[in-house]
């Protein structure tokens, strides 16, 4: 039987995956017809997706807390355009009819879900593929009160047709196709990931830049030493996707300052379960650092 937390994360990711497609078509029309401000549409899309996720958890996990970038009010699927299609794509409503699954769902202690409804909004509004919905759930942990114990992470990028996900103790995975098909087993389109493949030459780091001039100036000043250690730097425009690419071994490291917890909550446990070194910030002044080796982690701690 499917893990209850994975089932919840799959459904929540499906809500974002589906709605991004609908809102992308509205953005395309806005650019052509010039009737709507694309920035306003993105704000509406962000708020709607987060609201749907909040409404979903309010229904199936009312004991959980949802923390989102937009602080949107809970929203039921039947309140939005094409809501019936959304409801038909959810799996937990059907699974919950099984008494055994329903009992397992109730047994999971209260969690705190951190949601970025559209990570990579600039990419999204410009029609670039690197955007996603990112979710991560943690439970309180007296041993690590600042961070808690991360239980699951799920990142779903609809235009890339890719989902990355991890469950504490069950590894990190990548697969193509819809979020609802994600499983913690190797299948035709699901692969367990473990960082940089042995023998892959070169070293590439991913990073991002803030929009405030002072933050950007600081970030640019740190690039020079990084480029002396790494062959090149990539900037995808989505922190969650950057972290997942490190977990997948397509880049060797990722670093960035100025992030909110929702930016890295989905990807951090994916990187950790993939076996990478992970340093998480306690506030926005500290960097998120993901690295495939201890040496690169130590270097980035000094220079990122």
- Position 38 confidence tier, pLDDT thresholds 50, 70, 90: low
Q: Are 165 and 153 in contact (CB under 8 A)?
A: yes
Same domain, 299 and 163: no
- Position 40 confidence tier, pLDDT thresholds 50, 70, 90: low
Checking if the pLDDT of 35 tops 50, the result is no
Domain residue limits at 76: 4-193
Binding-site residues, please? 69, 116, 118-119, 263
Same domain, 158 and 285: no
Same domain, 213 and 189: no
31 belongs to a structural domain: yes
Checking if the pLDDT of 188 tops 70, the result is no
199 belongs to a structural domain: no
- Position 198 confidence tier, pLDDT thresholds 50, 70, 90: confident
CATH number at residue 170: 3.30.540.10
Same domain, 57 and 185: yes
69 belongs to a structural domain: yes
Q: What would the two tokens of residue 107 be?
A: 């047994």
Q: Looking at the 3D structure of the chain, how many domains does it have?
A: 2
224 belongs to a structural domain: yes
Give me the pLDDT at residue 34, please.
42
Checking if the pLDDT of 211 tops 50, the result is yes
198 belongs to a structural domain: no
Spell out where 74-207 has E strands.
112-119, 132-139, 149-157, 162-167, 171-176, 190-193, 204-207
CATH number at residue 218: 3.40.190.80
Give me the pLDDT at residue 146, please.
60
Q: What would the two tokens of residue 24 be?
A: 């992308």
- Please say which residue of 193, 223, 250 terminates a domain: 193
pTM attached to this predicted model: 0.92
Closest CA to 216 of 205, 208, 227, 228: 208
Q: State mean pLDDT over 258-271.
A: 95
Q: What would the two tokens of residue 258 be?
A: 């100025």
Closest CA to 240 of 178, 146, 181, 166: 166
**Range with lowest mean pLDDT among 120-124, 154-158, 218-222:** 218-222
- Please say which residue of 171, 193, 215 terminates a domain: 193
Checking if the pLDDT of 232 tops 80, the result is yes
Same domain, 172 and 210: no
Q: What percent of the chain has pLDDT above 70?
A: 93
Binding-site residues for Mg(2+), please? 69, 116, 118-119, 263
Checking if the pLDDT of 50 tops 70, the result is yes
Pairwise CA distance, residues 171 & 164, whole Å: 11
């Amino acid at each position: 039987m499917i893990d209850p937390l994975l089932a919840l994360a799959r459904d929540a990711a499906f809500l974002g995956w589906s709605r991004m497609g609908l809102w992308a078509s509205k953005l395309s029309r806005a650019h052509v017809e010039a009737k709507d401000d694309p920035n306003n549409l993105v704000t509406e899309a962000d708020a709607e997706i987060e609201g749907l996720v909040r409404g979903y958890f309010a229904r199936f996990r009312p004991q959980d807390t949802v923390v989102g970038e937009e602080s949107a009010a809970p929203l039921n699927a039947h309140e939005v355009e094409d809501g019936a299609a959304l409801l038909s794509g959810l799996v937990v409503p059907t699974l919950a009819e099984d008494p055994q699954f329903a009992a397992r769902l109730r047994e999971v202690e209260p969690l705190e879900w951190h949601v970025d409804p559209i990570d990579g909004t600039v990419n999204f509004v410009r029609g670039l593929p690197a955007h996603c919905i990112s979710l991560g759930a943690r439970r309180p942990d007296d041993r690590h009160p600042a961070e808690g114990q991360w239980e699951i992470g799920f990142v779903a990028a609809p235009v890339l047709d890719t989902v990355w996900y991890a469950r504490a103790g069950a590894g990190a995975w990548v697969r193509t196709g819809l979020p609802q098909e994600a499983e913690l087993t190797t299948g035709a389109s699901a692969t367990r990931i473990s960082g940089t493949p042995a023998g892959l030459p070169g070293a590439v780091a991913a990073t991002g830049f803030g929009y405030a001039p002072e933050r950007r100036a600081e970030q640019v000043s740190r690039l020079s030493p990084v480029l002396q250690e790494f062959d090149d730097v990539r900037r995808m425009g989505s922190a969650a996707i950057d972290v997942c690419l490190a977990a997948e071994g397509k880049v060797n490291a990722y670093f960035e300052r100025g992030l909110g917890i929702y930016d890295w909550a989905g990807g951090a446990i994916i990187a950790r379960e993939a076996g990478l070194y992970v340093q998480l910030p306690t506030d926005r002044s500290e960097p998120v650092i993901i690295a495939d080796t201890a040496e690169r982690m130590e270097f980035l701690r000094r220079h990122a």
